[in-house]
Structure 1
Amino acid sequence: MTIKEAVCVMRAPGAGGVSCAGVPRWSHSAPAHQADYDNAPAHTHPVFLHDDHINSRFAIWQGDISSLEVDAITNTTDETLTQCNAVNERILQVAGPELKEEIITRGYECRTGEVVLTPGFGLRCRHIIHTVSPKYVAKYHTAADTSLHNCYRNVLCKASEIGARSLALCLISAPHAQFPPDLAAHVALRTIRRHLEQQRTPSLVILASSCAPDVALLCALAPLYFPRSAREADAARWRLPDEPALHDRRIRIIHNPHSHNSDTAEDDTSTYDEEAAVEAAAAFARACAPDTQRLLAPNNARPPYERRPRIDNHDQYERLLRRARTEDLSEISGIGCLYQSGVDRLGRPVVVFIGKWFPIGDIDLDKALLYLIKLLDPIVRGDYVIAYFHTLASSANHPPFSWLKEVYTVLPYKYKKNLKAFYIVHPTFWTKMMTWWFTTFMAPAIKAKVHNLPGVEYLYSVMARDQLDVPAFVTEYDMTINGLHYFQPDTNNT
Structure 2
Amino acid sequence: MEPLGRKQNVVNVADLTRWNFTQLLADEEDKPEQENGTKSPFPWRSDLNSKLILWKGDIFALQVHAMVHPTNETINSKYAMTARLLQEAGPEMLSEINSTVRGFKTGDARLTKGHQLLARHVVHTVGPRFNAKYSTAAEGALFSCYRNVLQLANENSIKTIAFCPIHSSQRGYPIEQGAHIAIRTVRRFLEKFGPNFETIIFACKENEMMETYQRLMPLYFPRNWKEEEEAKEYLPSDIGNEDGEPVIAERKIRIVDKPTFAAFKNLGREFDETVDLNKEFRSPDGPAVGCHEFAVMKEDIDKQRLCTLQAKPSSEQLEKDRARLYDRFLLRAKQEDLTDIAQLQCIYQSGVDRHGRPVIVFIGRNLPANCIDMERMLLYVIQMMDPVADNHYTVVYLHSLTTADNLPATSFMKYAYNILHDKYKKNLSSFYIVHPNIWFKISTWFFTTFTASEIKHKVHHLHGTEYLYAYINTDQFDVPQWIFEYDVKVNGPRYYAPPEDTIDEL
TM-score range, shorter chain: 0.3 to 0.5
Pick 1 or 2: higher relative contact order, CA cutoff 8 A, min separation 6.
1
- Could you tell me the TM-score, scaled by structure 1's length? 0.44
- Could you tell me the TM-score, scaled by structure 2's length? 0.43
